Amino acid sequence: MKRESDKEKQKRINFAVRPPQGRSVTQVQLNDPKTTPTSEADFRTEEEDIIKECNARLSQRFSLGKRAAISHGKLLEDLGNLGDTAAARRILEGTYEFPEDADPAT
């Protein structure tokens, strides 16, 4: 029983760590008999509109970080982009003196 259990466990591990199989989807074939060139063009237009809307929302969401108060000024200079400076350690220790232009919420 132990051996069977070990074999099952190894199967699950192998399944989880194996490289991905297959390729990404690059085309979708519509097999609907009701599809006409006009309805397919409408579908493509709707799809493009959805993609444009998603891109607009995502770019807005991810650009907000660039406008955050911590993304400029003395605090950014002290911390650096990675936060691996002596100032970061002082913040963790509670001994850092925040600059006056720092946002209180930061």
Cα 21-19-8 angle, rounded to 5 deg = 100
35 band by pLDDT with thresholds 50, 70 and 90: low
pTM above 0.75, yes or no: no
State both tokens at 29: 């074939």
Q: Is the pLDDT of residue 83 over 70?
A: yes
**pLDDT value of position 93:** 92
Q: Which amino acid is at 14?
A: N
Answer for the pair 8, 2: CB distance below 8 angstroms, yes or no: no
State both tokens at 69: 């108060």
